[in-house]
Amino acid sequence: MERPLIAVLNGPNLNMLGLRQPEVYGRATLDDVEQVCVQAAERLDVAIDFRQTNGEGELVSWIQECRGRARGIIINPAAYSHTSVAILDALLAVDLPVIEVHISNIHRREAFRHHSYVSRAAIGVICGLGVRGYALALQAMTDMILDEDDQ
């Protein structure tokens, strides 16, 4: 049987990981994050489509492309979490399970980071656990897909 596809989408400035505020985000680069995801996907026997963009519209288009193609979306919308109704609407439109990931604990940070529009579309949110949050999200998403296939 074909492996289920999980989209792992990353928003603005995450291409700067490793260089960007290492005291907040750690030293891992976006390539390291992708490696964490590739290794987790191999272990879990799922396929992933790992992407990053700085553009809100591109993120919206990528979310739309997931409809009928992916079984779930793991998304770190970065700063757009706190601003983007367009990304929320796109996630609501695709009718797929969504897990929101943040590397840092947004609730320990500035008040404007405490609210995420995207969370309204998410089954769950993982934040503050560093890049391992992506592997945990892949584990949870795979469990949910297997549960759905069992029904």
Catalytic residue flag (residue 25) = yes
User: C-beta of 24: minimal distance to ligand DQA in Å?
Assistant: 7
Distance CA 83, CA 77 (A): 10
103 among the known binding-site residues? yes
Query: Is the separation of the CB atoms in 7 and 51 below 8 Å?
Result: yes
> What minimum distance in Å lies between the beta carbon of 103 and ligand DQA?
4
Between 35 and 104, whose beta carbon lies closer to ligand DQA?
Answer: 104
- Residue whose CB is less far from ligand DQA, 11 or 72: 11
Taking the C-alpha atoms of residue 80 and residue 83, their distance in angstroms, rounded to an integer, is 5
Q: What is the largest CA-CA distance in the chain?
A: 46
Of the pair 71, 102, the CB lying nearest ligand DQA is at: 102
On whether 107 is known to bind a ligand per the annotation, the reply is: no
User: Cα dist. 69→7, 16, 62, 75, 95 in Å?
Assistant: 9, 29, 11, 16, 11
Task: Confirm whether residue 106 is marked as ligand binding.
Answer: no
Residue 134: active-site member:
no
6 burial via Cβ count (<10 Å: 0-12, 13-18, 19+): buried
In the complex, minimum distance from the CB of residue 40 to ligand DQA, in angstroms, rounded to a whole number: 17
Q: Where are the alpha helices (DSSP H) in 1-72?
A: 22-25, 30-44, 56-66
Q: 10 labelled as ligand-binding?
A: no
Nearer to ligand DQA, 14 or 48 (CB): 14
Q: Which residues bind ligand DQA (CB under 6 A)?
A: 13, 76, 78-79, 81, 102-104, 106, 113
Residues noted as catalytic: 25, 102
Binding-site annotation, residues: 76, 82, 89, 103-104, 113
